[in-house]
């Protein structure tokens, strides 16, 4: 029996809309749950003082430093590497078996569990290179971890720049590099920034790979060769060891707010850039 399009249309709206609302509700619930338990703990003292008694009392100041430094280092290392690689793959090579293998490889790397990267970072950066549990080991490990994501999202962003822009640029006597610099990268920027933001979020929230490589020292680091603890690791240890549920939620809430601030400011910067150009 044929169902009248009016009803299938109604059904589609209900299913699609329902899925959207459900997703939003789960998201809002999680954020609300964490903030409700965590916000009362957060105050200036909590953010600026050192933890006492393993984190049972006191604040989370050293983990703020760790949470800023590790992802920052990872992004500084991985962003140029990732963008250069994706530009090379999409603009300087023709589609061959080799590029397909490279692409398949990066896709696989992006799907590897972070603890494997942690293990690799531990063996290579911590032991072999002798960096020890340190910010540099953690940052490099996170960089390796997010590199595939940055490469693939940048490549997709670059591919979405219309082919006709390239043709026009070449026909006006541009070299590949001039085309990349003047036409491709500016137009791929929103997509590239999205990929970087995803990676920032992923590295801020990372625990397994960080514990293996940056350790979990609660002291304020004095150099990149010192161990550090990020908020995510702090939260994990507080909750896992049953040290302080209250402070764990406080840390989690701070983490969520931090990610939000990073994302919002990145999009604000990007919109300003786009507005300036057009």
| Binding interface with other proteins (CB under 8 A) | 94-95, 162, 164-175, 178, 182-183, 187, 277-278
Helix runs in 122-184, H state only = 135-159, 163-171, 176-179
Task: Enter the DSSP assignment of 262.
Answer: H
Alpha-carbon distances, residue 25 vs 255, 259, 261 (angstroms) = 20, 19, 21
Q: Which is nearer to other proteins, 174 or 266 (CB)?
A: 174
* Beta carbon of residue 88, minimum distance to other proteins (angstroms, whole number): 17
Q: Which is nearer to other proteins, 182 or 272 (CB)?
A: 182
Buried b (16+ CB within 10 A) or exposed e, 112-126: eebeebbbbbbebbb
Shortest Å, Cβ 192 to other proteins: 16
Q: Which two tokens stand for residue 131?
A: 């960096």
Distance from C-alpha of 200 to C-alpha of 262, rounded to nearest angstrom: 8
Q: Which residues contact 125 (CB under 8 A, 6 or more apart)?
A: 131, 136, 137, 140, 141, 213
227-251 b/e with 16+ CB inside 10 Å = b?
bbbbbbbbbbbbbeeebbeebbbbb
If the CB atoms of residues 103 and 202 are measured against other proteins, the closer one turns out to be: 103
Q: How far is the CB of 159 from other proteins (least distance, A)?
A: 15
Choose between 174 and 208: whose C-beta lies nearer to other proteins: 174
* Least distance CB 275 / other proteins (angstroms): 11
CB of 173 vs other proteins, minimal distance in Å: 4
| Cβ 178 to other proteins shortest distance, Å | 6
CB of 152 to other proteins, least distance (A): 22
| Residue closer to other proteins, measured from CB, 48 or 175 | 175
CB-neighbour burial class of residue 161 (10 A; exposed 0-12, middle 13-18, buried 19+): buried
User: Which is nearer to other proteins, 10 or 162 (by Cβ)?
Assistant: 162
If the CB atoms of residues 43 and 271 are measured against other proteins, the closer one turns out to be 271
Q: Residue 262 — φ and ψ, nearest 5°?
A: -60, -45
């Amino acid at each position: 029996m044929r169902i009248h399009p009016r009803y299938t249309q109604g059904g589609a709206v209900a299913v699609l809309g329902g899925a959207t609302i459900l997703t939003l509700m789960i998201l809002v619930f999680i954020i609300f749950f964490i903030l409700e338990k965590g916000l009362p703990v957060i105050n200036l003292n909590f953010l600026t003082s050192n933890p006492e008694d393993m984190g049972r009392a006191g604040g989370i100041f050293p983990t703020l430093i760790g949470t800023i430094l590790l992802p920052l280092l990872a992004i500084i290392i991985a962003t140029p590497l990732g963008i250069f690689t994706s530009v090379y793959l999409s603009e300087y090579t023709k589609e061959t078996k080799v590029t397909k293998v490279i692409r398949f490889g990066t896709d696989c790397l992006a799907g590897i569990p972070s603890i494997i990267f942690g293990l690799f970072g531990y063996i290579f950066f911590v032991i072999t290179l002798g960096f020890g549990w340190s910010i540099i080991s953690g940052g490099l490990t996170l960089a390796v971890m997010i590199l595939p994501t940055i490469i693939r999202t940048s490549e997709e962003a670059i591919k979405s720049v219309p082919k006709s822009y390239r043709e026009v640029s070449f026909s006006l006597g541009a070299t590949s590099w001039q085309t990349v610099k003047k036409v491709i990268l500016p137009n791929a920027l929103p997509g590239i920034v999205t990929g970087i933001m995803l990676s920032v979020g992923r590295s801020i929230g990372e625990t397994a790979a960080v514990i293996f490589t940056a350790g979990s020292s609660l002291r304020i680091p004095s150099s990149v060769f010192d161990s550090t603890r990020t908020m995510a690791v702090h939260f994990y240890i507080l909750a896992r060891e049953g040290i302080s549920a209250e402070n764990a939620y406080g840390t989690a809430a701070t983490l969520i707010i931090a990610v939000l601030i990073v994302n919002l400011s990145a999009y604000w910067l990007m919109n300003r850039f786009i507005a300036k150009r057009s």
